[in-house]
Amino acid sequence: MKKSRLVIVLAFMIFLQERINAQVAIVSMQLMAYNVTPDNMLSASIMNNGAEQQVQLVSKLYSFNNEVILSVRSAPFMLRNGLNSAYDVARRAASVEYSNGNQAQYIKATSSLPSGNFRICTDLILMSSPEPADQYCDEVVSDYNQYLYLVSPNDGDTVNSLTPLLMWTHSEPFSVLGQGESFRIVVSEMQAGQGPENAVTVNTPVMSQNYLTGHNIQYPYDAKELTPGKKYAWQIQKMANGVIINKTEAWEFVVRKKPEEKDIKYVALRPVVDGSIYTAVNGKVYFRFIEEYQAKGEMKAYIISDKGKELPVPVANDQEDKKHSTSIKNNGDNRFVLDLELSGLKPGYYRLEIKNAKRETFYLKIYLPG
């Protein structure tokens, strides 16, 4: 390892020495991703081993896909003998040309590069010759203001839906993506002993979407159904020509198990019809009825269908635990059970009505699932 590093260092020193020994050569470039202006496109350190002479610089900024984004030509300037600084105040841009692409417009507006990989090439032209005397190219990696985060559900959260809303965010508009660049989401089931990062890397995704254009993704109904009680890992990845060039952390969430359905005891009837609805579990409705007046006898109950049809239905004292038995109503607190399935009712919405001793009506809206 040490030997290979030494070879690389020596090769670079030889390359640098050759450039310094040349009559005229660009030694280095100083373009910063957070300060991309026409003048800074000309920030090249130049070695001149000969007499003072007049030169020009032509710099071009290329995208990841080798498309010219920005081209700058300097006004002629004097190149002194020796090393000429990259920040020569006499060096100015004479012509500037931005491409029509979104990345170029972003650079023009913000004087900074969007996130990604770019390349700058600068030609040194002697005014005495139309051919470039030297060319220098350098890679520019922009990530100084880039962020790519997951938002919701939080890492380790429990979700109640089988189609949860997955939210993320990033720092730049989608429009500045270069050709071949896109975002995708990956959701993978986690196996025992796996972390979320390993799950999204190794496991076959249960859902993935490419070319995202928004920060909110509803888990699709046509994707593989999530399983209650299982853990899932998810991640947003930035792609360039099929290669992952950036990604978020991988987070995990678990789908809440459906609670075991139990008979709900007891719901009280109300003197008015309101918006509350009682869902019959296993076809049964357990309700309480308080008879405030001195009265004893058979409880009479009626079911009103959503079509307005009135159907008498038998109820039973819950303590008797007998289906279709005649219920006895006493003064005070009474507890009853109504079995809708044994009454032959079809799934749907109904209204239970009961009258007290003074003929006042009490109601309960009911939903009988299929």
Mind listing the domains of the chain with CATH numbers? 2-142 (2.60.40), 148-255 (2.60.40.10), 267-368 (2.60.40)
Least confidently predicted of 98-112, 164-178, 192-206, 287-301: 287-301
- Interatomic CA distance for residues 77 and 84, integer angstroms: 11
pLDDT at 21 over 50: no
Environment class of 95 (CB within 10 Å of its CB; exposed 0-12, middle 13-18, buried 19+): exposed
Prediction pTM value? 0.52
- As given in the structure block, the two tokens for residue 312 are 């008498």
Average pLDDT over residues 256-264: 66
Confidence of residue 20 (pLDDT cuts 50, 70, 90): very low
Provide the percentage of residues in the chain whose pLDDT is more than 70: 89
- Interatomic CA distance for residues 149 and 151, integer angstroms: 6
User: Of 16, 146, 15, 119, which is closest to residue 60 (Cα–Cα)?
Assistant: 119
Q: Give residue 323's pLDDT.
A: 45
43-82: pLDDT as tens digits: 999 999 989 999 999 999 998 888 899 999 999 999 999 9
Least confidently predicted of 164-173, 186-195, 242-251, 317-326: 317-326
Q: Give residue 117's pLDDT.
A: 84
pLDDT at 321 over 60: no
pLDDT at 23 over 90: no
Environment class of 188 (CB within 10 Å of its CB; exposed 0-12, middle 13-18, buried 19+): buried
Least confidently predicted of 35-39, 214-218, 254-258: 254-258
β partners of residue 47:
25, 83
- As given in the structure block, the two tokens for residue 173 are 């508009």
Residue found under tokens 């070319």: 211
Confidence of residue 141 (pLDDT cuts 50, 70, 90): confident
pLDDT at 263 over 60: no
148-204: pLDDT as tens digits: 899 999 999 999 899 999 999 998 888 888 778 899 999 999 999 999 999 999 999
Q: Give residue 144's pLDDT.
A: 59
β partners of residue 210:
none
